[in-house]
Amino acid sequence: MPIRIITTHLEFEGQISEQRVVMEGEEPAVWGPEAELAVVGKVTPRVDGRERVTGSAQYAYDVQLPGMLVAAGLRSPHPHARIVRIDASRAETAPGVRAVYHHFNTGDLNNPSNDRPVFGDELLYQGDLVAVAIAETKEQAQDALALIAVEYEPLPFVVDQRAALAADAPKVSTTYEHNTIPEGFPQTYERGDLDAGFVQADVTVEAQLSTPTALHNSMETHGGVAQWDGRTLTIWSSTQDVYGVRRGVASALGLQQNQVRAIKQYMGGGFGNKFGAHHSGLVAAYAAYTLGRPVKYMLSREEENLAAGNRPETIQTYRIGAKKDGTLTAIEQHTIGNVGAIGSWFSPVAMATKELYQCANIRTVDEAARTNLGTQASFRAPGVVEGTAGLEVALDQLAAALGMDPLELRRKNYAERHQALDRPYSRKLLLEAYRLGAERIGWAERDHEERRYPQGRDGYLRRGIGMASQLWGGDGGPPAQAIAKLLPDGTAVILTGTQDIGTGTRTVLAQIAAEELGLPLEQVRVELGDTEFGVFSPPSGGSMTLASVGPAVRMAAAEARKELVEVVAQLSEAPTDALDVRDGHIFSRETGKEMGAIGSFLELLDGHEITAKGMRGPNAENMSVRTFGAQFAEVEVDIGTGRVRVLRIVAVHDCGRIVNPLTFSSQIEGGIIQGLGFALMEQRIVDQRLGAVLNANLENYKVPTIRDIPQIDIILLDQPNVHANTIGALGAGEPPIIPTPGAIANAVAHALGRPVKALPLTPDRVLDLLNS
């Protein structure tokens, strides 16, 4: 097949960037609405479900190798300090201990992801890495930590984000470049004439929403197992990015990339912060390389909560102007975001403000506050969750000031185009989502007396209904590759370098391959998460996996099927266009007669395997591909205790073609549950005087349990987006979490008749709201 270098365009946060990629061959035609599909679109249990529920699935935590050592980390107790001296002699001679690494003996081990030493002499936050003990057992490694004597020089610190912006605030670092806020901040976006927009306004409202720092708390923490055999460094990593792990480990150890193999078969969750090798993976790799024995380093739960990144807290203020009929004339948003000690970027908190509703005059200002706390990291729709909540809360306050129905206000300002880029959307079904969601939740009856006051006005219970809109990308893009192999017995193996981070990627890729190959699903096996396959795939994040890797798998399967048909045509002396492949058999198109199983033809070739390669083609030009949706929440508030109970969530999301309604619904449910936690209970609590995190564990950091989960009503739109890619599907990872906090906050405001100003809506905060 001819090789071409093509230029495609990637869109993120209102910016278009060019990317050159290699393309080999031609993609098949798009599966449009008229396509009759036998496997894709059907409810299908996970192909690896048995392994998951029986415990035979191997996670990074499960890897056990002969002679394997175990690592444990010593963390800084101070929010800011310099290491004056380390005496590890007692630890180094303790039973079972094979090494102790720290700044004074391993100071040259650098983390390529932030260009900072893994073991630095300046500690920038509580939980920063001081030393690592390597021992025969986990218990011996942990015991050794208590034997390491460290002399610290405490330094001035700042943990409050407002205080961090003051001119006389303590410097977060005196050694590293992370001393300053990210380059280019404060960052301002403007369009139109903001002052003129407010002059045109008949009504102007000001609103504020503070959002908490949320911690990832995946079931499986960061880390992995590394082994050096003298030629190859193999690392089994809990990662969303095996190729990023390979690059990072090779760079840190001075190896060539062909000397590093990264594997991730199963992982216990990853919500954006498991890109690259992470310092735990680098330490495991370094120890295995230097000691010549396998080494495991998996973070403890406390380490995970202190040092693995977070969704940063924000303080958002809004000023919105509108005419009497609800037409928006101006929006101004100011955001302070806590990027922590080493955060190098700012989450796109203003994305919804810039794009979601029609408004000609907008200004957004982002201020990054650098503090002596664990750093921000990508976290399922980073910035957009908190920013959407802020905008949607402000819009409901505007609706109240106008005396207008909140849903009608949103319909009034429906945006037909991407305003920041001035280009059309490939498809937008947001109005349909509004209609379906409103009907299902009973929006028209939201103010009925008996619904709002289930015990009567004298009772303690109040009910409210709120809603919020959703905007995200999820269109993916190149480069992404796949290989399809048809084996002599008629079964197939699909190879790809992508990761299944718990979303069901193995299953949906198997469905796509089975559909294109004309095979039953059980005859297709998908192998992924291994750089040794040599089949590149991008990181699994941003809702990009299905939309990036799915088309590559389909192209590989289509090429394999084409070669199969050519083989059968020669063996049967029939024209290729007279043959059809379905359900694992070859059929005559003219007579409909079965000619034989696929394997019966391939077995005639003395073991020949058909191997074909597929690639993701370029993105759509001159249009924006987006996912849109809406959620409606019904809540019940006890005004005596302040407890909020979410009764029901109705979710309507347009993510293009739904390859598997079962795994799609799981994604929607998971996102909603995570959004509920952000709205009602999750928050990192910091002692401002000591700079210490007080709840770095799952006992005091509250996450939703089964008692907190409401009825979740998912409405499937399931319409292929023919401009997105050849399978017509978009990602569904981020969309469901984005509108949930805003919908819940607006439902609580509706129940209480008071605007929400801060999340999470814990009982004490609700009582304060009632008494304000």
Catalytically active residues are 734
Which residues fall within 8 angstroms of residue 216, CB to CB, at 6 or more apart?
269, 271, 272, 273, 304, 308, 309, 310, 377, 379
Residue 380 falls in which region: left (phi positive, over 0), alpha (psi -120 to 50) or beta: left
Radius of gyration of the chain (CA): 27
Q: SS3 of 565, please?
A: helix
Residues 226 and 213: their CA atoms lie apart, in Å, by: 32
527 DSSP 8-state letter: E
194 DSSP 8-state letter: H
Looking at this protein, which amino acid is placed at residue 171?
K
Residues 22 and 479: their CA atoms lie apart, in Å, by: 8
Cα separation of the two ends of the chain: 70
Q: Which two tokens stand for residue 551?
A: 């088309």
Q: Which two tokens stand for residue 92?
A: 């180094």
Distance of CA 207 to the CA centre of its chain: 28
Percentages of the chain per state (helix, strand, coil), in multiples of 5 = 30, 30, 40
Which residues fall within 8 angstroms of residue 683, CB to CB, at 6 or more apart?
212, 213, 214, 701, 760, 762
Angle formed by the axes of helices 278-291 and 242-253, nearest 10°: 50
Question: Could you give the dihedral angle defined by the CA atoms of residues 596, 602, 603 and 608, in that order, rounded to the nearest 10 degrees?
Answer: 180
Looking at this protein, which amino acid is placed at residue 346?
F
Residues 472 and 733: their CA atoms lie apart, in Å, by: 10
Angle formed by the axes of helices 384-402 and 740-752, nearest 10°: 30
Contact of 435 with 718, CB cutoff 8 Å: no
* Closest residue by Cα to residue 649 from 453, 448, 440, 452: 440
Cβ density class 112-151: b for 16+ within 10 Å, e for less? bbbebbbbbbbbbbbbbbbbbbbbbeeebbbbbbebbebe
Consecutive H or E run containing 599: helix 598-602
Contact of 19 with 548, CB cutoff 8 Å: no
* Closest residue by Cα to residue 358 from 298, 409, 284: 409
Residues 136 and 71: their CA atoms lie apart, in Å, by: 9
User: Residue 602: is it exposed, middle or buried by C-beta count within 10 angstroms (0-12/13-18/19+)?
Assistant: buried
User: Sheet containing 122-123: which strands, arranged edge to edge?
Assistant: 122-123, 81-87, 149-154
Say how many CA atoms lie within 13 Å of 532 toward its Cβ: 14
Residues 508 and 500: their CA atoms lie apart, in Å, by: 10
